[in-house]
């Protein structure tokens, strides 16, 4: 029986060592001794997840709930707990410190097992509606009462999804490969197909990696597109071969699974979003076959797309969902099919998949428009048409290519209007000026540079008043330090920023600055792992005709 204390002891050692190889070695040696079920839980927990990817709900335990339980357990006031929090900026470590001090006097019973922890997490997830908050608190309290300081720390780290021990998914995959003597490449491939690292560990432990197939109701990772800057660049790369030119729809990427009467919709982060789109569920049910489709859910009315932002309320399903549905009717534009009646199509060429898609989806869903293009002029003309019809640009696809889950390759390339946009993470915030005085509305944001984050700019325009209000609440909750002028914010909120150009600059630690940045949208569908990196910034910088070096002007 995998003990939770042995697991957390291993993670603590992983945290303490800075070498990647050593981290992998520690975890793999630990995992080698586990049965398949415990391997599943250990891999999942080690990446800071409490439940399998694709589950509709998660434990949904917020900071305030944890703080509340902590106060109840220790008799400390919220203020006192807050003081320890400021020291670490990490709730897990706060809990460890506070509970370790208290633990001397507690007689704890039998030690926790991985399975018991998983069962408690499931119980928290199941708690719904009236009284659910108290039930969740009860489960958490019961766990913490039985946990030692280190265990408590990791319980909280998992629940807040903030593992921060330098163990990215890639390293856990390496540890799985090493623990169960499998080659790294096939572990990676299977990981992308399976979507969930826990399931990956389980299958590897059972020696069943080669048997993994796509499965209905289990989300797989989405195929992604590589950005290119111009129509000519695209035509040149494909050497004039005919491509499928599709509009780039501006909505929510969605994978729709149907099996009999059952329908599930998954987002780009493999979260279940079925309940937000009842009309898509209805339409899927009207198709006689079972399938996995890929496409984009777009707010759409009277023949034209509506602003993407309208979907936010539907996704969050906060008050008055009916009104949000009326305000933002949606269409599902499907552009790919991965599985049809038990037949796995994802490795077939796109032209065959498109043909199958046309056969089954017509009538229920709108198929993404598709036109064959091969020259730079044709790409450019279709691009203009997409813009005048209200779409974001084009996605151009090689008709001979297979569907490669989770990969950003050149079989799909995208062409957008702006020079480009960047997905960045907010790392700081300040009060605004003028109309926005008194509101936290100036955001400092960063891109990734290896393991660290580098600031590249500040933006304040682009959000609606309502969005600013929502952001304020989130930023307050994520503030690590507030010196009165500037709040340092935990890097979690991803925004997409448009800009006029990129210049070299000594203002920020990235060495670059965006000129006239504006927030295009809040990317709730993206997390810290999805933001752009400094290489992307350099690429855009190099592609500019005029390169400004701010320091030298």
Closest CA to 124 of 111, 133, 114: 133
Q: Which of 395, 513, 519, 540 binds ligand ATP (CB under 6 A)?
A: 395
Q: Which stretch binds ligand ATP (CB under 6 A): 3-11, 16-24, 243-251, 321-329?
A: 243-251
Q: Which residues pair with 296 in a beta bridge?
A: 253, 333
> Is residue 174 at the binding interface for ligand ATP, with CB under 6 A as the rule?
no
Rounded to the nearest whole angstrom, what is the least distance from the CB of residue 382 to ligand ATP in the complex? 12
First to last CA, the chain: 66
Closest CA to 139 of 153, 129, 125: 125
**Residue 53: both structure tokens together:** 């990817």
Residues annotated as part of the active site: 248
8-state DSSP, 257: E
Q: Which of 296, 380, 398, 420 binds ligand ATP (CB under 6 A)?
A: 296
Rounded to the nearest whole angstrom, what is the least distance from the CB of residue 418 to ligand ATP in the complex? 10
Distance CA 298, CA 383 (A): 19
Q: Which stretch binds ligand ATP (CB under 6 A): 4-12, 123-131, 242-250, 470-478?
A: 242-250
Q: Which is nearer to ligand ATP, 39 or 502 (CB)?
A: 502
Distances (CA, A) of 317 to 273, 301, 321, 419, 506: 10, 20, 6, 34, 43
> Is residue 224 at the binding interface for ligand ATP, with CB under 6 A as the rule?
yes
Q: Which of 61, 147, 225, 293 binds ligand ATP (CB under 6 A)?
A: 225
> Is residue 81 at the binding interface for ligand ATP, with CB under 6 A as the rule?
no
The runs of H, that is alpha helices, within 253-406 are 278-285, 311-316, 321-327, 350-361, 376-388
Rounded to the nearest whole angstrom, what is the least distance from the CB of residue 188 to ligand ATP in the complex? 19
Characterize 335-364 residue by residue with b for buried, 16 or more Cβ atoms within 10 angstroms of its Cβ, and e for exposed: bbbbbbeeeebbebebeebbebbeebbeeb
Distance CA 13, CA 146 (A): 21
Q: Which of 249, 365, 383, 512 binds ligand ATP (CB under 6 A)?
A: 249
- Maximum distance among all Cα pairs of the chain, rounded to whole angstroms: 77
| Binding-site string for ligand ATP from residue 363 to residue 382, where x marks contact by CB under 6 A and - marks none | -----x--------------
Q: Which is nearer to ligand ATP, 112 or 396 (CB)?
A: 396
Q: What angle do CA 275, 280, 284 make, to 5 degrees?
A: 115
Q: Which is nearer to ligand ATP, 247 or 512 (CB)?
A: 247
Q: Which is nearer to ligand ATP, 158 or 350 (CB)?
A: 350
Residues 302-341 that bind ligand ATP (CB under 6 A): 335
8-state DSSP, 7: H
Q: Which of 49, 136, 248, 314 binds ligand ATP (CB under 6 A)?
A: 248
Q: Which is nearer to ligand ATP, 283 or 368 (CB)?
A: 368
Distance CA 190, CA 194 (A): 6
> Is residue 414 at the binding interface for ligand ATP, with CB under 6 A as the rule?
yes
Q: Which is nearer to ligand ATP, 45 or 391 (CB)?
A: 391
Q: What angle do CA 495, 496, 501 make, to 5 degrees?
A: 130
Q: Which of 253, 436, 474, 538 binds ligand ATP (CB under 6 A)?
A: 253
User: Site residues (CB under 6 A) for ligand ATP?
Assistant: 224-225, 246, 248-249, 253, 296, 335, 368, 395, 414
């Amino acid at each position: 029986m995998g003990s939770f204390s042995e697991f957390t002891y291993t993670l603590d050692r992983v945290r303490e060592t800075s070498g990647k190889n050593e981290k992998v070695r520690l975890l793999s040696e630990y995992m080698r001794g586990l049965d398949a079920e415990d391997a599943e839980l250990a891999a999942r927990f080690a990446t800071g997840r409490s439940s399998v990817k694709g589950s509709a709900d998660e434990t949904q335990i917020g900071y305030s709930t944890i703080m509340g339980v902590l106060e109840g357990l220790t008799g400390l006031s919220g203020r006192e707990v807050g003081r320890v929090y400021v020291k670490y900026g990490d709730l897990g470590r706060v809990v460890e410190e506070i509970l370790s001090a208290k633990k001397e006097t507690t007689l704890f019973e039998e030690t926790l097992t991985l399975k018991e922890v998983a069962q408690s997490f499931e119980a928290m997830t199941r708690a719904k509606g009236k009284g659910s908050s108290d039930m969740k608190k009860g489960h958490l309290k019961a766990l913490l009462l039985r946990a030692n300081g280190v265990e408590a720390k990791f319980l909280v780290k998992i629940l807040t999804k903030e593992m921060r021990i330098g163990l990215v998914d890639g390293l856990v995959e390496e540890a799985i490969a090493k623990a169960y003597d499998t080659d790294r490449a096939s572990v990676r491939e299977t990981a992308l197909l399976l979507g969930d690292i826990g399931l990956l560990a389980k299958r590897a432990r059972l020696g069943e990696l080669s048997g993994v197939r796509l499965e209905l109701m289990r989300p797989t990772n989405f195929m992604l597109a590589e950005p290119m800057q111009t129509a000519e660049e695209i035509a040149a790369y494909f050497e004039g071969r005919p491509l499928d030119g599709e509009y780039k729809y501006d909505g929510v990427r969605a994978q729709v699974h149907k099996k009999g009467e059952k329908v599930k919709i998954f987002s780009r982060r493999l979260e279940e979003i079925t309940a937000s789109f009842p009309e898509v569920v209805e339409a899927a049910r009207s198709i006689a076959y079972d399938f996995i489709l890929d496409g984009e859910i777009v707010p759409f009315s009277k023949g034209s797309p509506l602003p993407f932002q309208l979907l936010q309320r539907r996704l969050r399903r906060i008050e008055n969902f009916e009104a949000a549905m009326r305000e933002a009717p949606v269409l599902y534009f499907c552009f790919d099919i991965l599985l049809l009646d038990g037949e796995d199509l994802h490795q077939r060429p796109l032209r065959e998949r498109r043909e199958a898609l046309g056969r089954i989806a017509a009538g229920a869903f709108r198929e993404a428009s598709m036109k064959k293009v091969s020259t730079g002029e044709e790409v450019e003309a279709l691009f203009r048409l997409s813009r005048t019809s209200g779409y974001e640009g084009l996605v151009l696809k090689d008709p001979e290519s297979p569907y490669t889950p989770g990969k950003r390759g050149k079989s799909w390339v995208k062409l957008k209007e702006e020079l480009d946009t960047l997905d960045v993470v907010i790392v700081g915030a300040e009060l605004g000026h003028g109309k926005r005085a008194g509101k936290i509305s100036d955001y400092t944001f960063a891109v990734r540079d290896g393991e660290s984050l580098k600031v590249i700019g500040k933006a304040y325009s682009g959000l609606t008043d309502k969005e600013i209000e929502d952001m304020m609440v989130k930023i307050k909750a994520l503030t690590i330090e507030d010196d009165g002028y500037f709040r340092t914010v935990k890097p979690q909120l991803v925004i997409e920023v448009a800009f006029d150009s990129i210049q070299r600059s000594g203002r920020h630690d990235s060495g670059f600055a965006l000129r006239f940045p504006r927030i295009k949208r809040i990317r709730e569908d993206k997390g810290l792992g999805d933001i752009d990196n400094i290489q992307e910034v350099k690429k855009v910088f190099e592609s500019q005709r005029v390169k400004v070096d701010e320091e030298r002007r």
